[in-house]
Amino acid sequence: MNIRPSPIAGSWYPGQADRLTRDLDRYLNQAETAVPDGKIWGVVVPHAGYRYSGPVAAHGFNCLRGLQPDLVVVISPLHSAHRAPLLTTAHDAYETPLGLLPVEKTAITQLNAALHQSAACAGTILTPIAHDREHALEIELPFLQRVLGQFRLLPIMMREQSKKMAQGLGQALADILRGRSALLVASSDLSHFYPQRQAQKLDGEVLRRLGAFDPDGVMDAEDEGVGYACGRGAIAAVLWAARELGANRVNILCHATSGDVTGGFDSVVGYGTAVIWENDLIYAKKDN
C-alpha cells in the first residue's frame, strides 16, 4: 500500500498515539456541545495546531459521536503553490499516530466524472499529488479517527477558491454522495493577524453568514472587506453540497482566537466551528 506519512505529527499535534489520544479526549470531554436533534451532514472546523484550535474544533467533532459514515469528505485550502485548481492525494492511505485511513479511490473517480460534466467546473479534475505537506486537511484526521473509528476518506485540497469553483465542487459532491452514508468536513481558520477586537468583528460577520446558511455571503465577505476565512471555498462548497443533500440548518458552536490561548491580543488568528444539519421539523410544520 502506498502510504502518505504525516509531515506534521509531533509538531502540529502529538506524534505518540497515547499522548494524542489523551489530548483528543480532553478536548472532546471539555467541549460542552449542544448536539442538534436532526440528521448531521457535516461540520466546519479550524486547522491550526491543536494547542490553538483543538478546543474549538472539539465542539464540532463532538456532534459526530456515534455516527457511522462509510465515507468522509474533507475539504481544505491548499497553502502551497500549484497549477491545478483542485487536488487530492496520490496515495492509497493517510497515516497518523492512530493508524491508517484508506482513501476511497472510487469516490475520486466518480467525483472527477461529475466535475467534468459540471458547467461550472467543466474540464476540472482532482489532480493527484504525492507527499504533500498540507496541514489543513491532515489536522482533522485524528479527531475523525477518534470519534468515528473506521471510515474511508475522500480528501480534497482547493488551490482555487473562487465562487464558481466552490459551487461547482459542491454540486458535484452532492451528485456522487446522494444516497450514501457520508459526512462533509470543511477545514478553515478565520481572520489572520488582526488585533483581538477587530478579529472578533471580522470573524463574527463570517460566522453570521455561515449560521445563516449563506455560502454566497461567506464567499463575498473577504471581497467586501468585512470578514475573512482562509478556507472560504471549502466552507462554501460544503454548504452547497449539504444543501443539495437536504441540510437546512447551521449551528455556530464555538469561536475563539489564538490570543485566548497565548494571552497576546495584538495579532491573533480566529477559529470557529459549526455543525450543518437537517431539521425535518421545518418541513413538517410547512406541510401542516
Give phi and psi for 160, each to the nearest 5: -100, 120
Q: 238 with 184: CB under 8 angstroms?
A: yes
The predicted structure's pLDDT at residue 43: 98
- Neighbour-count burial for 80-98, b at 16+ CB within 10 Å, e otherwise: eeeebbbbbbebebbbbbb
Helix 215-223 vs helix 163-177: crossing angle, to nearest 10: 160
How is residue 134 written as a grid cell?
498540507
Measured CA to CA, the distance from residue 138 to residue 135 in angstroms comes to: 5
Query: Would the pLDDT of 119 be above 80?
Result: no
Q: How far is CA 71 from the centre of its chain?
A: 14
For residue 287, what pLDDT band results from cuts at 50, 70 and 90?
very low
| Dihedral angle sign, alpha carbons of residues 110, 231, 204, 222 | negative
Q: How far is 76 from 65, CA to CA, in rounded Å?
A: 22
Question: Which of residues 124 and 176 earns the better pLDDT score?
Answer: 176
Residue 288: the pLDDT is: 44
* C-alpha of 49 from chain center: 15
Predicted pLDDT of residue 282: 54
**Confidence tier at 33 by pLDDT (50, 70, 90):** confident
Residue 288, classified by CB atoms within 10 Å of its CB into exposed (0-12), middle (13-18) or buried (19+), is: exposed
In CATH terms, the superfamily for domain 3-287 is LigB-like (3.40.830.10)
pLDDT score at 281? 66
The band of 194, judged by pLDDT with boundaries at 50, 70 and 90, is very high
Stretch 94-120: mean pLDDT: 94
Q: Which helix (H) or strand (E) holds 152?
A: strand 152-158
Entry pTM: 0.95
141: left (phi over 0), alpha (psi -120 to 50) or beta: alpha
